[in-house]
Each structure stands twice: as C-alpha cells, then as structure tokens.
Amino acid sequence: MRAVVQRVKQAKVTVSGDTVGEIGAGLLVFLGISRSDTINDVDWLVGKVVHLRIFDDSLGRLQHDVRDIGGKLLVVSQFTLYGDVRRGRRPDFTLAAPAMMAEPLYQRFINGCRLLLPVETGIFGADMDVSIVNWGPVTLLVETPGADKTVE
C-alpha cells in the first residue's frame, strides 16, 4: 500500500459539484492499493498514518500526531499511486489492485482510522475534485513493508 499524506489546514472533496468530504486541520491521505496488499498491510498503515508525528509542538518541532491537535483525516482513493512511468509515456497500472479487490481494503483502512479519530472520505472510484490548503507544506510518502516497487 502507498499513502501520500499531506498535513493540511483544510481539504475538501467534491463530486459533480457536491461536497462529499471536508475537514479543517488534519491529514489528507491519498491511498493506493496494490494487487499484493493484505489486511495486515491495511492495519499496519492505519497505525502508521494515525500516529505520524508531523504537527509542531510549542518549540516548532514535529512532535504531535493528528489526534493531539484534535484533527481529522480526509481519505481519498488513488489507484494512480501505482502507476509505473519508467517505460514509455503512458502509466502502466499493472500493479494497482482492481476495484473489486481494492475497495474492501480501502473501507477497512477507513474503518480502522475511524476507531481512533474522525474521518471524512471521497467516493471510491469517482471522478473527484480535491481542494487543499497544504500546511507547511508537509507531504510524506508512506509505504507498507514489502510494497510492490517494481514491475514483474
């Protein structure tokens, strides 16, 4: 699994002009799922994302996680995180999980995070517009151990 995690002052997802998810301070998580991902990968990633200490303390050091600041998550499915562009000009999505496999893992990630803090979402598989006020900016790529990194 791959997650692009952005610290945000606010973020919003709209579908066909309607807001479907919106947060103030917190984390925007673009979540990509590969063909080889398992429930164990989801559970590991939930713990990693929720406990990332990427919010400043009173001395300006990255010491607080999203829960410490009373923040929320906005989770957006993003199969293109598994687009391989090393060859040619068109991304190869061979490593991305098909929707039938990815959606239950995406839902498990959301449900796992909701046990720990408030979570808003986009709509899985929809054409979404994402508006972000990036805070810092702070942006991290988080991959589960053993995440697919090459085309086989």
**Catalytic-residue membership of 78:** yes
4: left (phi over 0), alpha (psi -120 to 50) or beta: beta
Active-site residue among 55, 79, 109, 121? Answer: 79
Strand, coil or helix: what is 111? helix
Active-site residue among 6, 78, 121, 144? Answer: 78
- Give kind and range of the element (H or E) at residue 136: strand 129-143
**Catalytic-residue membership of 6:** no
Cα dist. 53→26, 64, 115, 136, 152 in Å? 12, 5, 18, 14, 35
CA distance 132 to 138: 12
Active-site residue among 19, 38, 63, 80? Answer: 80
Beta bridge pairs of residue 6: 28, 139
CA distance 105 to 111: 10
Question: What are residue 43's phi and psi, to 5 degrees?
Answer: -65, -40
Query: Catalytic site residues?
Result: 78-80
